[in-house]
Structure 1
Amino acid sequence: MNQNKIVYIGSGLAIAIVLFIGGILIGRFAIPRPSNTIDISTETKHSEEEYITIWNNFKQQFLDSISAHEIESNLRDYAQQTHLAGTDDDRLEAESIAGKWRGHGLDVTIHPYDVLLSYPDPIQPNIVSIFDPNNNLIFQSNGSESIFSEDDKSLPFHKIVRPFLAYTTNGTVRSQKLFYVNYCTMDDFRFLETVLNKDELNNSIIICRYGKIFRGNKINIAEKYGIIGVILYSDPIDVVPSSNISNLTYPNSIYMPEMGQQRGSALTLSGDPLTVHYPAKDYMFRTPIDNNPHLPKIVAQQIGYKEAREILTRMTGTSVISNWTGGFHQVRYVYGGFLSDNLSIQISSYNTLQIRRIHNVIGTITGHIEPDRYVLIGAHFDAWNFGALDDGSGTAVNHELARVFGSLMKSNWKPRRSLMFCAWAAEEYGIVGSVEFVEEYAKILGSRVVSYINMDNIVKDRYVLIGAHFDAWNFGALDDGSGTAVNHELARVFGSLMKSNWKPRRSLMFCAWAAEEYGIVGSVEFVEEYAKILGSRVVSYLNMDVIVEGTELMFMEMSPLLYDFSIEISKQVKAPYTNETIYEQWIRHNNGEKDVGKKFFTMGLSASSDYAGFNQIAASSNLAMIYKNQTIIKNIGTYPLYHTQYETFRLVKEFIDPEFQTHQAIARVIGLAAFTLTDIDLLPFNPERYHQALVDLLTLTKSVAPQSINFTSLQNAIDQFKNAATQFNYRIQTTLDKSNPIQVRIVNDQLMQVERAFQNPLGNSIEQSTLKHTIYAPSRTNRYNARGFPTITDAIEDRNITNIQQQISIVTYFIHSAITVLQSPNKIQSIL
Structure 2
Amino acid sequence: AYKLFQVLPEAHRLREHLTYYTSGVHLAGVNRTQAVWTQEQMRDFGLTDVNIVEYFPYLNYPREQRVAIVEPEPLLFDADLREPIVDEDSTSHLQRDIPPAFHGFSASGNVTGRLVYANYGRPQDFARLRALGVNMTDTIVLVRYGQVFRGLKVREAQEHGAVGVLIYSDPADDGAARGAVYPDGPWRPPGSVQRGSVQFLSDYPGDPLTPGVPAHRDAERLAREDVTNLPKIPSIPLSYTNALPLLRALSGHGPSALQAGSDWEGAGAHSDAGADPGVTYSVGPSEARVNLVNRMEGRITPIWNVVARIEGWAEPDRAVIVGNHRDAWVFGAADPGSGSAVLLETARSLGILLRAGWRPRRTIYLCSWDAEEYGLIGSTEWVEDHLAWLQREAVAYINVDNVVMGHHFVAFASPSLNPLIYQVTKDVALGGTSGSVYDQWVNDAPKKHQAETESAVGGADPIINADNDPPARHLPPVVHPLGSGSDFTAFLQHAGIAAMDFSFVGYGGTYHSAYDSRHWMEKFVDPHYHYHRAATGVLGGIALQLADASLLPLNLTTYADALKGYLAAVTFHDQVRRFTDKSGANCEKAVAQVAAVSDETDLELSKKKKKDKKKHDAEKKLAQCLRRRHQFNDQLGFFEQQFIAVAGIPSRPWYKHLVFAPGLNTGYASQPLPVLTESVE
What TM-score, normalized by structure 2, do the two folds share? 0.88
**CA distance, structure 2, for counterparts of residue 292 and residue 545 of structure 1:** 28
Correspondence list, 1:711-730, <5 A: 711-730=580-599
**CA distance, structure 2, for counterparts of residue 584 and residue 751 of structure 1:** 29
**CA distance, structure 1, for counterparts of residue 18 and residue 197 of structure 2:** 24
The Cα offsets for residues 438-497 of structure 1, whole Å up to 9 and x where unpaired, read as 00000011121111110xxxxxxxxxxxxxxxxxxxxxxxxxxxxxxxxxxxxxxxxxxx
**CA distance, structure 2, for counterparts of residue 102 and residue 393 of structure 1:** 21
**CA distance, structure 1, for counterparts of residue 27 and residue 474 of structure 2:** 38
Segment drifting more, 149-158 vs 92-101: 149-158
**CA distance, structure 2, for counterparts of residue 153 and residue 593 of structure 1:** 45
**CA distance, structure 2, for counterparts of residue 668 and residue 293 of structure 1:** 41
By how many angstroms is 1:626 displaced? 0.5
Contact 2:181 2:187 in 1 (8 A): yes
**CA distance, structure 2, for counterparts of residue 397 and residue 750 of structure 1:** 31
- 2:187 alignment counterpart: 255
Correspondence list, 1:600-639, <5 A: 600-603=478-481, 605-629=482-506, 639=508
- 1:416 alignment counterpart: 361
**CA distance, structure 1, for counterparts of residue 72 and residue 444 of structure 2:** 59
By how many angstroms is 1:385 displaced? 0.9
Contact 1:554 1:600 in 2 (8 A): no
- 1:678 alignment counterpart: 547
Q: Specify the SS of the correspondent of 1:379.
A: strand
By how many angstroms is 1:794 displaced? 1.4
**CA distance, structure 1, for counterparts of residue 127 and residue 550 of structure 2:** 53
- 1:573 alignment counterpart: 428
Q: 1:296 to 1:706 in 2, by over 3 A?
A: farther
**CA distance, structure 2, for counterparts of residue 648 and residue 242 of structure 1:** 22
- 1:333 alignment counterpart: 280
Amino acid at match of 1:413: W
Q: 1:775 to 1:597 in 2, by over 3 A?
A: farther
Amino acid at match of 2:486: S
By how many angstroms is 1:593 displaced? 4.6
Q: Specify the SS of the correspondent of 2:141.
A: strand
- 1:545 alignment counterpart: 401
Contact 1:691 1:721 in 2 (8 A): no
By how many angstroms is 1:709 displaced? 4.3
- 1:444 alignment counterpart: 389
Correspondence list, 1:188-337, <5 A: 188-196=125-133, 200-242=135-177, 248-268=180-200, 269-315=204-250, 316-320=253-257, 321-328=261-268, 329=275, 330-337=277-284
**CA distance, structure 2, for counterparts of residue 367 and residue 314 of structure 1:** 64
The Cα offsets for residues 588-615 of structure 1, whole Å up to 9 and x where unpaired, read as 3458955877643103x12210111111
Contact 2:75 2:249 in 1 (8 A): no
Residue 644 (structure 2) aligned to one of 759, 774, 778: 759
Q: Specify the SS of the correspondent of 1:414.
A: coil
Amino acid at match of 2:44: G
- 1:370 alignment counterpart: 315
Contact 2:336 2:402 in 1 (8 A): yes
Segment drifting more, 321-330 vs 556-565: 321-330
Q: Specify the SS of the correspondent of 1:227.
A: coil
Q: Specify the SS of the correspondent of 1:382.
A: coil
The Cα offsets for residues 77-104 of structure 1, whole Å up to 9 and x where unpaired, read as 21111111111xx100011111111112
By how many angstroms is 1:722 displaced? 4.7
1:749 equivalent to 2:634? Answer yes
Q: 1:706 to 1:183 in 2, by over 3 A?
A: farther
By how many angstroms is 1:372 displaced? 1.0
**CA distance, structure 1, for counterparts of residue 388 and residue 606 of structure 2:** 30
- 1:778 alignment counterpart: 662
- 2:33 alignment counterpart: 92
By how many angstroms is 1:367 displaced? 0.5
The Cα offsets for residues 166-209 of structure 1, whole Å up to 9 and x where unpaired, read as 11111111113x21111001111122222115xx1111111110
Q: 1:114 to 1:764 in 2, by over 3 A?
A: same
- 2:523 alignment counterpart: 654
Residue 139 (structure 1) aligned to one of 77, 97, 116: 77
Which protein, 1 or 2, shows the higher relative CO under an 8 Å CA cutoff with sep ≥ 6?
Answer: 1
Q: Specify the SS of the correspondent of 1:452.
A: strand
Contact 1:181 1:335 in 2 (8 A): no
Contact 2:118 2:125 in 1 (8 A): yes
Amino acid at match of 1:111: V
By how many angstroms is 1:73 displaced? 1.1
Contact 1:779 1:794 in 2 (8 A): no
Q: 1:674 to 1:690 in 2, by over 3 A?
A: same
**CA distance, structure 1, for counterparts of residue 154 and residue 285 of structure 2:** 21
The Cα offsets for residues 56-92 of structure 1, whole Å up to 9 and x where unpaired, read as xx333321111111101110121111111111xx100
Amino acid at match of 1:626: S
Q: Specify the SS of the correspondent of 2:331.
A: strand
By how many angstroms is 1:292 displaced? 2.4
Contact 2:71 2:290 in 1 (8 A): no
**CA distance, structure 1, for counterparts of residue 169 and residue 92 of structure 2:** 28
The Cα offsets for residues 132-171 of structure 1, whole Å up to 9 and x where unpaired, read as 257x981111121111211216964321111101111111
Q: Specify the SS of the correspondent of 2:349.
A: helix
**CA distance, structure 1, for counterparts of residue 519 and residue 284 of structure 2:** 43
Amino acid at match of 1:777: A
- 1:521 alignment counterpart: none
**CA distance, structure 2, for counterparts of residue 753 and residue 419 of structure 1:** 17
Q: Specify the SS of the correspondent of 1:383.
A: coil
Q: Specify the SS of the correspondent of 1:314.
A: helix
1:453 equivalent to 2:453? Answer no
Contact 1:81 1:155 in 2 (8 A): no
By how many angstroms is 1:585 displaced? 2.6
Q: Which has the higher helix share?
A: 2
By how many angstroms is 1:583 displaced? 2.2
Contact 1:438 1:614 in 2 (8 A): yes
**CA distance, structure 2, for counterparts of residue 351 and residue 708 of structure 1:** 46
Contact 2:409 2:440 in 1 (8 A): no
By how many angstroms is 1:569 displaced? 0.9
**CA distance, structure 2, for counterparts of residue 293 and residue 582 of structure 1:** 42
Contact 2:380 2:490 in 1 (8 A): yes
The Cα offsets for residues 621-650 of structure 1, whole Å up to 9 and x where unpaired, read as 112110123xx5xxxxxx011000111110
After TM superposition, which residue ranges in structure 1, 4 or more long, deviate above 6 angstroms?
A: 595-598
Structure 2 unmatched ranges of 5 or more: 269-274, 448-461, 465-472, 608-621
By how many angstroms is 1:129 displaced? 0.9
- 1:54 alignment counterpart: none
Q: Specify the SS of the correspondent of 2:638.
A: helix
By how many angstroms is 1:705 displaced? 4.8
The total of aligned residue pairs comes to 625
Same amino acid, percent of matched pairs: 31
- CA RMSD, Structure 1 to Structure 2 (Å): 2.0
**CA distance, structure 1, for counterparts of residue 323 and residue 591 of structure 2:** 32
- 2:69 alignment counterpart: 130
- 1:431 alignment counterpart: 376
Q: Specify the SS of the correspondent of 1:444.
A: helix
Contact 1:587 1:596 in 2 (8 A): no
**CA distance, structure 2, for counterparts of residue 714 and residue 138 of structure 1:** 61
Correspondence list, 1:690-701, <5 A: 690-701=559-570
